[in-house]
Amino acid sequence: MAKVAFLLASNFEDSEMKNPYEAIKEAGHQAVIIGLEKGAECKGKKGTVSYTAEIGAKDAKADEFDAVVIPGGSSPEALRVNDDIVRFVKEANEQGKLIAGICHGPQVMISADILKGKAATCYIGIRDDVKLAGADYRDEEVVVSENIITSRTPKDEPAFIREILAKLN
> What are the residue numbers of the active site?
103-104
What residues contact residue 4 under an 8 Å CB cut-off, 6+ apart? 24, 29, 30, 31, 32, 65, 66, 67, 68, 69, 168
Closest by alpha carbon to 156, among 76, 74, 72, 89?
Answer: 72
Asked if 76 and 101 touch (Cβ cutoff 8 Å), the reply is yes
Q: Which residues pair with 136 in a beta bridge?
A: 119
Q: Find the DSSP H helices in the chain.
A: 14-26, 75-80, 83-94, 106-111, 127-132, 157-168
Phi then psi for residue 155, to 5 deg, are -65, -15
